[in-house]
Amino acid sequence: MPEKRLQPAIGVISDCALQRHMIQKALSNYGLNIALSCDPAMLDQQLKERIQRVTCWILVLENEDFDSPELNELIEQTNIPVLFGLGKAPDKFDELYISWERRLLSKLQELIGQVNIFESVDSVLSLQTQGRITVTQVLDQSKPEAPVFLHQPLSKKSMVKRPLASEVWILAASLGGPGAVKAFLDLIPESIRASFLYAQHIDAHFSQVLTQVLGRHAKLDLLALENGYPLYDGEVRMVPVDHEVKFEDEQVKFTANKWQGPYGPSIDHLLKNLLASYGARCNLIVFSGMGNDGALMAPALHQAGCQIWTQAPDSCASASMPQAVIDLNCSDLSGTPEELARALIQRVGCHEIATE
């Protein structure tokens, strides 16, 4: 289980109980703490210590003529930022809700800085069942004894002649994702008729750590994406965190552009690029994670005939990402990582891979 993160504490003020509920739910999806939530008429009754914990206010008023000394004082003070103009939250099952929630995060980050929804290196290293690789070793790349940064020789798996990708499945994950993805990949045979792109919200410095930890018991190769090369069945390619990847004539094309949106890599941006090249052969599995990355493109994938699967929310360390897709009625199948692995094998099948 990922370690608990300290996040800013938000104060929510709205004269609509439903809007307060919607804002609180959206904030919890990003792991943000709610210091207090109340009607503006009740602001003067809030405990002083709760108000003092607030690092940013969100103010949404349906009755814009409402006036009170407490509210005026809150608006006029300059020590704590106040977010105005968010707009009314759509119904959570409306496609517009995803954009509204994303806008909420973007506006908050303008006021309070980056909201941390990424997987930590500590939780990734906790997946290791052998060895004693420490966080200090990971951070100090200059130490020759830090094996996680050494270039590994090609494995026997890499020597086989593989077919071009029959289907491409994006494995999308954020907080709590590595453990789920590892459980999924450990059951997938190397002869699978599918190629995988693993898009994980994580600090770019730890991508190779993640690759080696997840690849320990997997039968498939876990490799970095390579510019100018196509995707092959039986491989898992790590999507870079810090720059956009496109696909032209089903070949990988690196760009100097950053990913669009608040995430790295952006799963929605990746899906858009992959769908343009692979069409209905592009599919998605959404594993554990905070936020709603992937949900913005889910309706377009669904309409194009792509498969969209989700990790069952009750099996997630953080269920926000898969739940956002489920709420849009875009999930074709939901289950534990192991159940999803078995379902994929049954769906796409396996083929013989001839060695050279």
Q: How far apart are CA 30 and CA 101, in angstroms?
A: 10
Q: How far apart are CA 325 and CA 200, in angstroms?
A: 17
pLDDT, residue 124, reads 72
Angle of the 207-214 helix axis to the 177-185 helix axis, nearest 10: 40
Task: Give the sheet arrangement for strand 33-38, strand by strand.
Answer: 33-38, 9-14, 56-60, 82-83
> CA geometry: angle at 247 spanning 243 and 252, to 5°?
70
The backbone torsions φ and ψ at residue 123, rounded to the nearest 5 degrees and listed phi first, read: -70, -30
Strands 82-83 and 56-60: parallel
pLDDT, residue 217, reads 73
pLDDT, residue 145, reads 35
pLDDT, residue 209, reads 75
Q: How far apart are CA 290 and CA 73, in angstroms?
A: 34
Q: What is the pTM of this model?
A: 0.83
Q: In a 3-state reduction of DSSP, which class is residue 112?
A: helix
pLDDT, residue 6, reads 56
pLDDT, residue 353, reads 54
pLDDT, residue 128, reads 61
* Residues 318-338 pLDDT 10s: 999 999 999 999 999 999 999
Q: How far apart are CA 291 and CA 293, in angstroms?
A: 6
pLDDT, residue 222, reads 87
Q: In a 3-state reduction of DSSP, which class is residue 196?
A: strand
Place of tokens 């008429």: 41
- 283 token code pair: 């599919």
Q: Which domains does the chain have, with CATH numbers?
A: 9-112 (3.40.50), 121-348 (3.40.50.180)
Low-confidence ranges of the chain (pLDDT < 70): 1-6, 120-122, 125, 128-160, 205, 353-356
- What type of residue sits at position 270? L
